[in-house]
Amino acid sequence: MATPAGTRTLTATAAGPTVAQLLRELPNDASASAATVDVVPGTADDPRGLGLSASALPLVLAGMVAGTAATFLAPAGLRRVGLIAAMAILAGLAATAIVQGWLGVIGGDWAANWAALSLTVLSIGALVGGLEALLGRAGIGVAAALMVVVGNAFSAMSSAPEMLPRPAGAIGQLLPPGAGGNLLRSTGFFDGARTGEHIAVLAAWSLLGLAALLVAVARNRPRAVPAAVPAAQAPQPSRSG
């Protein structure tokens, strides 16, 4: 940014440490007044913003564990849904206590961060539980490939979606790891700005997992068998002669 006092480069480490680092390395005005200003830095305990980027994979694994554990502890149905929701809330609480209370890698409102983390775990766990109900154990593998291999790789938590090859960056933001990570950035550093699109993505995946569970329950529901007619009440053949 050019100003009467010289050239200033504005960065936001909290929005993406890799992008901020690249901007700091750009050639500035040769004058002594040239400066780089970090308008939204990381926290004092994580000044380079690397801790938040590193939390993406553990968050995905927490969702996988919640969904997988629920499949072994509860049959497909409302009981499994309730168990996944309870695990997501507890996992979000534990994650908030670690990344904000202990490690100090995010700031912002504690309750908002808890909600963001819980919703992320819920969206992944619900998909795991739903696909397992539909496909059996293979459903867990499908969810793992989608969330861990594709979602985590395309989340762009350490950089930015625009820095990934197209359309990988856009795809990553439509999956829970990318949407959840950026939702946490927003609640932790930007006062909840532009959270709507990330919440919508996470809610959609949560509902998709719930829908898969309901379909599996309906498919596996035993059909009613007509009661046998007692022999005494059965119509007797007419006798001739």
Residue 6 inside a domain? The answer is no
Residue 133 inside a domain? The answer is yes
- Please tell me the total count of domains within the chain: 1
Q: What's the CA gap between 218 and 50, in Å, rounded? A: 45
Residue 167 inside a domain? The answer is yes
Residue 173 inside a domain? The answer is yes
Chain segment 140-186, per-residue pLDDT in tens: 999 999 999 999 989 888 777 878 888 998 999 999 999 999 999 99
Q: What's the CA gap between 48 and 23, in Å, rounded? A: 13
Residue 71 inside a domain? The answer is yes
Residue 240 inside a domain? The answer is no
Chain segment 16-68, per-residue pLDDT in tens: 777 767 766 665 544 445 577 777 877 888 777 778 878 888 889 999 999 99
Beta strands in the chain (DSSP E): 2-3, 6-11, 35-38
Q: What's the CA gap between 185 and 65, in Å, rounded? A: 23
Residue 185 inside a domain? The answer is yes
Residue at 59: amino acid letter: L
| Domain carrying residue 97 | 51-218
β-pair type (35-38, 6-11): parallel
